[in-house]
Amino acid sequence: MPPIPAAPDSFRDYVHARGAALSRTALLLTSDPHLAEDLVQQTLIAVASRWERVMAGGDPDAYVRRALYHQHISWWRRWRREPVPVERLPEPAGFEPHGGLDTAIAVRQALRRLTPKQRAVLVLRYFDDLTEAQTAAVLGVGVGTVKSQVRDALARLRTVAPDLVDLQEVPR
């Protein structure tokens, strides 16, 4: 029996190591835990068939994040043409002394009011802690575009969610 190639183990190890981070990014992009799970799964299915080439490129994380972002944009374009019912978020079940749940809900609602590109730039820069250059590489744009998208997204957030301004750590 021939030995099993290393690529499946490499892919499995990558998913095990980075799955939670990819899920968090997908959740912030979609604002829906079920859609986020689907987004990560579809992205990983697409990437798995090319894993050896992805690994040969040297930076699998950037490739997978870019694939995740492009898959989300593809979904968004399709959904934009179809009416999608939006559910109201239920009230929090319990008391949170530091308002963590309330803040998380407010951030997700505010992110939903941004364009997909603005949302992606903020998620990659501030939630995934990528540099401007890394964010530009994932999105396939220039660093200047990342800077202007961040500026515009933060300005829009200040307008649509003024209650979040106190949480902001980034200078205006």
37-51, pLDDT tens digit by residue? 999 999 999 999 889
- Give the pTM: 0.52
Q: How far is CA 12 from CA 48, 51, 61, in A?
A: 9, 10, 13
> Among candidates 104, 92, 101, which has minimal Cα distance to 31?
104
Calpha distance 161→24 (Å, rounded): 21
Each as own residue / partner, the long-range contacts of residues 72-78 (CB below 8 Å, 24 or more positions apart, any chain) are 72/26, 72/29, 72/30, 72/39, 72/116, 72/120, 73/116, 73/120, 75/30, 75/35, 75/39, 76/116
Provide the residue-wise pLDDT of the chain in tens; the chain has 172 residues: 333 344 557 889 999 999 999 999 998 888 889 989 999 999 999 999 889 888 887 888 889 999 999 888 887 666 555 555 556 655 554 444 455 667 777 778 888 888 888 888 988 898 888 999 999 998 899 999 999 999 998 899 888 887 776 655 544 3
Distance CA 150, CA 152 (A): 5
Distance from C-alpha of 90 to C-alpha of 88, rounded to nearest angstrom: 6
Taken in order of first residue, the domains within the chain and their CATH numbers are: 1-87 (1.10.1740), 96-172 (1.10.10.10)
Q: How far apart are CA 22 and CA 20, in angstroms?
A: 5
Neighbours of 141 (CB within 10 A): 15
CA–centroid distance for 88 within its chain: 22
